[in-house]
Structure 1
Amino acid sequence: MIQTAPPAEVFPEYPASWYLFGESRELRQGPVSRRILGRLLVAFRTESGRLVVMDGECAHLGADLGFGDVVGETIRCPFHHWQYGCDGACVAVPGQGPGQGRPPAFARQRTYPTEERHGYLFFFNGREPLFPLPFFLNDEGLGEDPAGYAASEVFRYVGDCTWYMNSAHAFDRQHFAAVHDRELMGPPAIDCPAPYARRNSYLAKVVGDTGFDRILRYTAGRTVKTTLTIWGGTFAVITADFERVRSGFVMAMEPLEDGRTMCHGIVFAPRPRGPLGLLAPLQLRLRRLFTYGYLKEEARRLRSTRYKPESLGPADQDMIDFFHWAAALPQKGDHEEKDCLPASAIPAVPDVPAVLRAGAAAGSPAGGRGARL
């Protein structure tokens, strides 16, 4: 077992993972720019319907492309009307006459892989995604079809800690009781179901006296099997299987420049058929209310938490293992030559228990463990 946690300096500032840009409908009126991951990014939909996310400062003089226009399959800078294609290459420079050559080599914007799901636009921080945009798994370990689920509105809160401290909560068994009033009924089962994914599953009793927990015990049950899967360090898929109700949500964590973490949560529910479909919007709002209340209270109680590796001891072993796993994730940009490596070629973290390395090499469809919700 690893006895000491890694120093803070080894964690990626902005891990190679999936992040939420925003709602797709925001792009109906034109490009939208946003400062994310320490840089200005712009998103737009071309005339053919293709979604694009690229660096938002024009390579010419740094103008904000979010104030530009979509012209066919390109975005046009508002300052000098340089145009960039979906691959980020400049395709037109006004005033450049015949025979004057192509646009300069520097006239290129970095682009990011995108995926649209349930009306939301996600992008991957890297040239190619290292793993698909995660979703739930069913009982057979196969990926659920996202089209079979309805999504809530996003809820947001700021975690007053770094992304790796925020994600480590999924492996902090002591805080389940101290913060969430959950009494573990056995040791957690921790594994790596796929490359770049780390999972914790545990069975617990709901023992809290808050209004939320009292309602949960009455409507859902007194015990819950929770599965938390962290993908790429910053994207979490969580399922909660109560005695009578199943619930699930995803959390896209965005590292902020001030060292805190913006958490974007989306709750999901199966799309019911028949007359029950009329109640679906209300059920989804209630699920969102309970999930947001649960997590917002955690964020309130965990303000000013800081990563102090020298303070972690034997009781924190699950977190220590997680920190070593997270520290070994691809650094900003360094995954570009590792994109196409098979799982067997991914280097193991020194001294990580063999069962974790075996899980990382096995691979499985994206998502956290859980049956239909």
Structure 2
Amino acid sequence: MRRSIGFLFSGEHPRLPPAEALAVVESESGASDPLLWRSRVLLARSETPSIGRLSSRLAFTKKIFEAYSLALSNDLRPLLEVIPVPPMSGVSFRVRAVSLGGGLDARVAERVLGGRVLRAGSGLRVDLEDPDVEILCLMLPRLLIIGQTLSSIDRSRFRLRETSMRPFFHPTSMNPILARAMVNLARVREGSLVLDPFMGAGGIVLEALCVGARVIGVDADPDMVAGALQNLSFYGFFRGYSLMVANAVELSLDEKVDAIVTDPPYGRGARVLGFREPRSLLERFIERSPDLLREGGWISISVPDRIGVEALMEEAGYSVRGVYFIKVHKRLRRKIVVGRLDYAGDLPGDLERRPYQASERDLYSGLV
């Protein structure tokens, strides 16, 4: 059965969170139809996914909810008195209002809606600490959304895997939230075979293992491979992966993988592999990567934003499904490029490319 699922995001990035959420829904329960994306809120319709699986996977989501009603108005205050609220009986509840630029005081919204829920139901009691049901009220410019919280996600778990917490530290390691998002964007699911050909200290390998994937980790530096093994063991992973010392551009595998998720080196790291420029390394690897990836498989790759890796991927047979820019520091921006390796015989052009990909207009209007 298809249902309308909502996501409330953390607000750390404008475009990555909705793309990640839709990718995880797709990998867990099949394709989804985005209904609305505005500010930090996404509504989508899909086959009923496992909320537990979604909660355990998502990096940029704070709450998952089932949308009950929504209404548009220039003045949201009168809507609080008339917008439908979920009927309930015999449970404890609370109303949690979140202001996302709607101009309403959250405490006022909670009081008004809480009173309406009490009057409409039977045998209800308010419990602000540990309720049976949380009614969610999202207040955006000209839009009011009412839903029932399905999961509140504890994102503090990612702090346990911060690079500074690992026994083997390397300054170029990607933080776990971004690494998890990259894994999710590659539509990795439990049991998928994932390759990280430039694994470094093993951050992406670690996040792929956390979602139940099988992983092949490769690095040309024996010290990095030893350090990655130390990190994986520290977090209790002793099986489900294979680590090897090898040059990614000369790599040969016994079987093709379902996804490639990687953060290739640039600068000195590229020169260690015998390439003077990062672009040369990327050209060689992307040219070879279809030999390692099954048809229909996904690649999620992080590169400096000055490198036009999108054209390289298209030439190698990928359809680019999303590009997301990440500010690292004042002088460096990364971009995460996500692509799918087309099946042999795929139709050219946009006929076979139906990704969820917000345009710049959508980014600012918020509506998809």
Query: TM-score interval w.r.t. the shorter chain?
Result: under 0.3
Higher relative contact order (CA 8 A, sep 6+): 1
| TM-score normalised by the chain length of structure 1 | 0.26
